[in-house]
Structure 1
Amino acid sequence: MKAIQHIAYREISQSIGYSEIEKPIIGRDEVLIKAYAASVNPLDIKVLTGKLRTRKNYTLPATMGYDVSGKIAGIGDDVTNFNIGDEVYAYVDKQGAFADFVSVKQNILSLKPKNTSFEEAASLPLVSLTASQALKRGKLQSGDKILIHAGSGGVGFLAIQLAKAKGAYVYTTTSTANVAWVKELGADRVIDYKSEDYKIIVKDADMVLDTLGNQYTEDAFKVIKKGGKVITLVGPVDKETANRMKLNKVARLFLAWKRRKITARIKQKSAYYSLLLMRANAKQLQAVTDLVVSGQVKTKIDKVFPLKDAVNALLYVDKGRTKGKVVLKIR
């Protein structure tokens, strides 16, 4: 079967190959998905550029991709919740979505929303699970005020919709070109970062969802209330997460040094701070499915590329100016 594989740590255009590989052999608790679409994420760029190079069990060549939608073509002996022919989607917790066929464990798989195309469904898993888990980590409640950075980005546009579904008041930042579209998503106050300073506009927020990192992570503490929450996707590793990762003492001390400014701000605001490491979760993905079917959450695709044009899709995502998601059409 055809697959897009990571073959070397070089420039993006030289780091992947269009390969012929063996079809996956499924385990007893797995299904074989005949892939119709997969989406491209900034996570794929991090993999290619070596930022996740220390991850265990990752060897080259490796089939790329984490989001997939398609039809079930085979089921393992212990699979009871799905049937051959079912239209499904999933966040693949091991790489391999940019391929003709993908194997997925049944406990992280969901039926795709009936009112979406395969391309639309493939755009959802990673970003919707990330947004869902971030809001859950921050214990967002109806009536809370939340600032979501980069509202036109993959995670941002889902987080806005999920936060509004919870009844929160949503501030978000975006560029001038995307203001109108982001308003349509339901954000209560859209801040054009090219002409406005969000730090002046947002006051006493209950939560900040930090998707940008660096100075944005530190500045999040300026806009939250006393006892507020900062959930980051890209900021320094917090103490709780470092312990959960079972890092050695030297690594934990190094991470403590890196987050020293954050630690000071946490104390000043009596705040809760956490780095989110998203995990596959079928129950949460099913909740997203229900919201999509009901019309409370809408998908947004920026561009669709054929699988063989994955290099250009990755280069496009690497520019960091997407409006919604970038998808690879496999069939």
Structure 2
Amino acid sequence: MPSTDVLHEYTVPLTMRAIVLPEPNEQINLADVELPVPECADNELLIKVEYVGLNPVDGQFAKSGFCKWQYPHILGLDAVGVVVKASKGIFPNVGERVMWHASVGDQGVLSEYTKVPNYAVSVLPAGLNPAVAAILPCAGMAALISLDKLSISEGDTILIEGGAGAVGQFAIQYAKQRGADVFATASKRNHKLVKQLGADMVFDYNDKKLCEKIRRELGPQGFDAVIDTIGGESTARNIELMRFCGKIACLNPLPCFDQELMYRRAPNISVVSLGGAWLANSLCAQQRLSFMGNLLLEGACNGDIKTPTLTAVEFNAQAVSDALNKQLAGGFTGKQVVHVAP
């Protein structure tokens, strides 16, 4: 019988199940392992993980690796769980259910237990499904940061690329709440969904006459702002569709820009990086993750924000590998959630 530590009403084992990436690989081959339960510093919470929300970035890094990782590496960034250990006087208290976006540079959250600084979590409101809360951080926070960087306000025109993706779904709704006129791109089969979320106009991103059709609806002035969730060649195209000195928030690596385009459009380019809050060791930025988490939880709880459709994923290496590969294959509009523990 393994020895245990008794903490309040919780019994915490010495070891835990986890899903790890043995090394980066194109197939996203993962492994089920047994690891020690992490030790916490004074300002850290020990959390029993309940749900983990999967994101495309999880699959991308599983293939390419990340410069800060040592292997084997526990995957996963978005989670909900219950605090089972906290130093005296630290909030949230033991027994609280919390949501957070974890540091990309540290071990992830696809494990039965994990640790996180207390100032980076958000406490779930009563009545909110914890599985729903687990899908909010990465996509929801990226959407909120993008809109803040663009300073979206009433009457602005904004183009949201990938409107049916999770970031796009949140961005459309929050942009409408701020009074913007929202244009979005999506595959034709997802136009109904994107319009139901509040987009004023939706365009098929596979349409060879996309720019021509956008200009016909928008007029000659160009967009005030763009949220570019796609990257690559579409980034330059989107800048072409913006007004002079318009703003663009980019969620993927920037391409090499044609200097004539830069000179003619003089765009204000912002890079959106949730992981930067951790990698820059910015306490203020990490606390802001908590504030945004509170906003997302409130919106989901009171129905102001519609969340993407959930798909349950089993807590084992093969199921998570299959789920991540499915996300990267494209065309997936919902969110996948791993049920780690009841």
TM-score normalised by L of structure 2: 0.84
Structure 1 pair 172–114 and aligned structure 2 pair: CA distance change class (3 A): farther
Q: Match of 2:5? A: none
Residue among 102, 109, 120 paired with 1:97: 109
In 1: Cα distance, 2:253 partner to 2:262 partner: 13
Given the alignment of the two structures, is residue 219 of structure 1 paired with residue 237 of structure 2, yes or no? yes
Given the alignment of the two structures, is residue 312 of structure 1 paired with residue 327 of structure 2, yes or no? no
Q: Match of 1:72? A: 83
Gaps of 5+ in 1: 237-257
Q: Match of 2:92? A: 82
Residue among 61, 77, 88 paired with 2:72: 61
- Is residue 248–residue 269 contact of structure 2 (8 Å, CA) maintained in 1? yes
Residue among 269, 272, 275 paired with 1:276: 272
- 1:56-104 deviations in whole A, cap 9, x for unaligned? 3x1101111000012111113452x311111110001133211111211
Q: Match of 2:256? A: 259
Given the alignment of the two structures, is residue 7 of structure 1 paired with residue 22 of structure 2, yes or no? yes
Partner SS, residue 150 of structure 1: coil
1:196 shift after superposition: 7.2
Report matched runs for 1:178-197 at 5 Å.
178-195=190-207, 197=209
Stretch deviating more after TM superposition (168-177 or 186-195) = 186-195
1:115 shift after superposition: 4.2
In 2: Cα distance, 1:198 partner to 1:115 partner: 43
- Is residue 29–residue 78 contact of structure 1 (8 Å, CA) maintained in 2? no
- Is residue 28–residue 63 contact of structure 2 (8 Å, CA) maintained in 1? no
In 1: Cα distance, 2:208 partner to 2:126 partner: 40
In 2: Cα distance, 1:234 partner to 1:155 partner: 12
Residue among 37, 49, 56 paired with 1:23: 37
Structure 1 pair 36–232 and aligned structure 2 pair: CA distance change class (3 A): same
Structure 1 pair 188–196 and aligned structure 2 pair: CA distance change class (3 A): farther
Aligned residues: 304
- Is residue 86–residue 94 contact of structure 2 (8 Å, CA) maintained in 1? yes
1:212 shift after superposition: 0.7
In 2: Cα distance, 1:180 partner to 1:10 partner: 36
Structure 1 pair 208–115 and aligned structure 2 pair: CA distance change class (3 A): farther
In 2: Cα distance, 1:123 partner to 1:264 partner: 41
In 2: Cα distance, 1:44 partner to 1:196 partner: 31
Report matched runs for 1:15-164 at 5 Å.
16-50=30-64, 52-53=65-66, 55-56=67-68, 58-77=69-88, 79=90, 81-93=91-103, 94-164=106-176
Output the aligned Cα RMSD.
1.8
